Amino acid sequence: MNRKTLLGYGAVVVVVSGLSALVTGLLMNIYERKSEAKNPYVHLVEVSEDDTDPAKWGVNWPKQYESYQLTALATRTRFGGHGGSEALPEQKIERDPWLKRIFLGYAFSIDYRDRRGHAYMLSDQEETKRLSKPQTGSCLHCHASVMPLYRELGGGDAMAGFKASYQLSYQEMNARLHASGHAHPVSCVDCHSAETMKLRVTRPGFVKAIQALAASEAPLPHLPSIERWRATNRQAPYDPNALASRTEMRSFVCGQCHVEYYCSSAMPLEFPWSKGLRAEDLEAHWNGVVLPKGGRFFDFKHSESGAEILKVQHPEFELWSQGIHARSGVACADCHMPYQRDGATKVSDHWVRSPLLNVNRACQTCHHSEEQEILARVEVIQTRNFNLLQRAGQALVDQLDAIQAARAAGAGDEQLQPTRELQRQAQWRLDFVAAENSMGFHAPQEAARLLGEAVDLARQGQVAALKAKEAGR
Amino acid sequence: MTIGGAVIAALSGALLGLGGFTFYYGQGLSYFSRDPAACVNCHIMQPQFDSWQKASHHTAATCADCHLPHDFLPKWLSKAENGFWHSQGFTLQDFHEPIFIRQRNQRVLHDNCLNCHGPLVHELLAGATTDADAISCVHCHRSAGHGEAVGLGKYEPLSSRKEP
């Protein structure tokens, strides 16, 4: 064989081996995708209802666990998120001084910071300066993977343990949590059944409240399983784990904590849902509650005005319920934990965060517009609500000034009663949007309606304070 | 036969065998059919497939009826072109998500709406069909092919909410 032919054969070998390598690569790629589709996860360890350590579940479900761990990352949007130092988020009460003023006399005027990811829920709570005031063990209902501890306290009965926990101090309950080895932030077992991985709700506060809500007359077109329960069978209380659809469960698990509630050492933790989910319904519920020590329910007495004020917590579930997304059957998880593809498997993203940081998966599945366009639309909605919120804050501060002046002029309790009442109502509506984590987006018109009413009530209150001042002279 | 010839024959035989098996394993033949199941071989379009089964058109039209031209040559060209992009995207995993229909395929889709419904709507369609502002069936009838965009099928609430 001459040199040239030999070179020719050599070239053929090189080309064919290159092609074979490519085809083999493709074959392996197809094989990988096929096996991913066949086995979305591999069951390596047994998990039980008492396994609160997410790392253990992470052995079986590494994709979900990896994204869950990302909640430790600092993210920020224009109106939300961690904008402070690496150690602690920024103080909201320093950014908006009116916020500090309206909470005078309450622990939120001491320390009130921006939110952070799920990973910090327990450590942030252990560090807040609000703990310098006495706080109840009920607070751990939503800041730790607390169900095994409830069962321990209740001798096996979680509901009994829950009912007992409000009498313990936060420090005592927290020490027990650490001693029991369940000191983890929200964990897999809080939303997933250890046996079937199905979504389920565990929190006693939610279960009691959703049953009360179901038993009420409030229309709930966005929760069809409750309407079906009402229409067919009111014998047994509504059971979300048995009756709710998967879509509803994808909101209920979040509604276990992202709600308005009352948490104190005076009575067990309570969500105010017995009359419906609108701000007025919640307000009416609280107005009907009598405190154990007697008298109408309130969270704190405002130290300047003496008014009995209601503090709103973070009513995301309630405000979402008033919006167009809820009405259209869009669940919390659809936007905050959208499905993402990983190879041939579909994984729901456990890096729970603002949809604005994940527009393509969170919004574009339904809204076929450019990312920039979608972001711009949200910006318009949030800016409108933000501007209204600032006006409402100003109106409330003006009312407080007027009350101060009336008191200085000698107005007494009886004369100040009307303006205090209006302060309570105005602040409830303002706080409903201010404490809620979406700057109105979860239900834009509803939020704007509440802020409009807050401005009106605060100004009415200002007029009432002027009248009290005249009368006090 | 020379030794060289034998080597080449053996090599190309091996490559052919490997390629043939890969084609078989990758269900290559199914892509020459009209079976909607072939469109979910790679799992990316599972939600589209599932939603089509629950939408109004599933009794009337399959994937190919709406998404491929009906004439012989355009059909196979379109199959080849989309097939290429789909394989490349799924192999390299580098496509935009959620998947959007491309403009070219949108035109195919629109033409296929008219293929059946043309006689009914021809008076609506005066003017250009290629213009960016041209009327598009699915702009309004978005749920015709793949149903409601959210939830597990549409539910009818038992009550309608009214503001008191």
Query: What does the pLDDT average to over B110-126?
Result: 87
> Looking at the structure, do residues A462 and A363 belong to the same domain, yes or no?
no
From A8's Cα to the closest Cα of chain B, the distance in A is 9
Q: How many CB pairs under 8 A join A and B?
A: 99
User: Taking CB atoms and an 8 Å limit, are B157 and A30 in contact across chains?
Assistant: no
B163 touches chain A (CB under 8 A): no
User: What chain B residue is nearest to A217 in terms of C-alpha separation?
Assistant: B159
Confidence of residue B152 (pLDDT cuts 50, 70, 90): very low
For residue A223, pLDDT over 50 is answered with: yes
From A65's Cα to the closest Cα of chain B, the distance in A is 22
Q: Per-residue pLDDT tens for A298-339?
A: 999 999 999 999 999 999 999 999 999 999 889 999 999 998
- The residue from A317, A352, A368 where one domain ends is A368
Residue A82's pLDDT is what? 54
> Looking at the structure, do residues A320 and A334 belong to the same domain, yes or no?
yes
For residue B164, pLDDT over 80 is answered with: no
C-alpha to C-alpha distances, A74 to A65, A158, B36, B39, nearest whole angstrom: 18, 34, 44, 40
Question: A87: burial class by Cβ within 10 Å (0-12, 13-18, 19+)?
Answer: exposed
Residue A389's pLDDT is what? 95
> Looking at the structure, do residues A342 and A390 belong to the same domain, yes or no?
no
> Looking at the structure, do residues A353 and A378 belong to the same domain, yes or no?
no
Termini Cα distance of chain A: 122
A38 touches chain B (CB under 8 A): no
Confidence of residue B155 (pLDDT cuts 50, 70, 90): very low
Query: What does the pLDDT average to over B50-61?
Result: 88
Give A275 or B153, the one with higher predicted confidence.
A275
Structure tokens at A425: 């109502």
Whether A48 is covered by a domain: the verdict is: no
Nearest residue to B26 (alpha-carbon basis) of A29, A39, A40: A29
Whether A19 is covered by a domain: the verdict is: yes
User: Taking CB atoms and an 8 Å limit, are B155 and A329 in contact across chains?
Assistant: yes
Residue B121's pLDDT is what? 86
Whether A299 is covered by a domain: the verdict is: yes
CATH at A391: 1.20.140.10
> Looking at the structure, do residues A248 and A277 belong to the same domain, yes or no?
yes
> Looking at the structure, do residues A323 and A456 belong to the same domain, yes or no?
no
Confidence of residue A94 (pLDDT cuts 50, 70, 90): confident
Q: Per-residue pLDDT tens for B65-87?
A: 999 999 999 999 999 999 999 99
Structure tokens at B103: 């403009």
> Looking at the structure, do residues A161 and A257 belong to the same domain, yes or no?
yes
Using CA of residue A65, residue A66, residue A72, residue A74, what is the dihedral sign? negative
Query: What does the pLDDT average to over B109-121?
Result: 90
> Looking at the structure, do residues A233 and A335 belong to the same domain, yes or no?
yes
> With contact defined as beta carbons under 8 Å apart, do A396 and A100 qualify?
no
- Considering A30-39, A84-93, A446-455, B116-125, the range whose residues carry the highest mean pLDDT is A446-455
Whether A45 is covered by a domain: the verdict is: no
Q: Into how many domains does chain A fold?
A: 3
> What does R_g of chain B's alpha carbons equal in angstroms?
22
Q: What is the pTM of this model?
A: 0.86
Where in the sequence is the domain holding A1, given as residue range(s)? 1-38
Q: How many residues does the structure list for chain B?
A: 164
Whether A379 is covered by a domain: the verdict is: yes
Residue B151's pLDDT is what? 47
Distance CA A154, CA A459 (A): 49
Q: Residue with structure tokens 């009756």?
A: A243
Whether A319 is covered by a domain: the verdict is: yes
For residue A267, pLDDT over 70 is answered with: yes
> Looking at the structure, do residues A434 and A344 belong to the same domain, yes or no?
no
CATH at A145: 1.10.1130.10
Confidence of residue A89 (pLDDT cuts 50, 70, 90): low
- The residue from A318, A350, A368 where one domain ends is A368
> With contact defined as beta carbons under 8 Å apart, do B138 and B113 qualify?
yes
> Looking at the structure, do residues A123 and A267 belong to the same domain, yes or no?
yes
> Looking at the structure, do residues A65 and A145 belong to the same domain, yes or no?
yes
Residue A437's pLDDT is what? 92
Mean pLDDT across chain A:
91
Nearest residue to A75 (alpha-carbon basis) of A123, A111, A108, A120: A120
Confidence of residue A282 (pLDDT cuts 50, 70, 90): very high
Lowest mean pLDDT among A121-125, A250-254, A256-260: A121-125
Whether A377 is covered by a domain: the verdict is: yes
B97 touches chain A (CB under 8 A): yes
B99 touches chain A (CB under 8 A): no
Whether A43 is covered by a domain: the verdict is: no
- Residue B130, helix vs strand vs coil: coil
> Looking at the structure, do residues A335 and A440 belong to the same domain, yes or no?
no
- Residue A339, helix vs strand vs coil: strand
Whole-number percent of chain A with pLDDT over 90: 69
Query: What does the pLDDT average to over A114-121?
Result: 85
User: Taking CB atoms and an 8 Å limit, are A5 and B150 in contact across chains?
Assistant: no
- The residue from A368, A387, A419 where one domain ends is A368
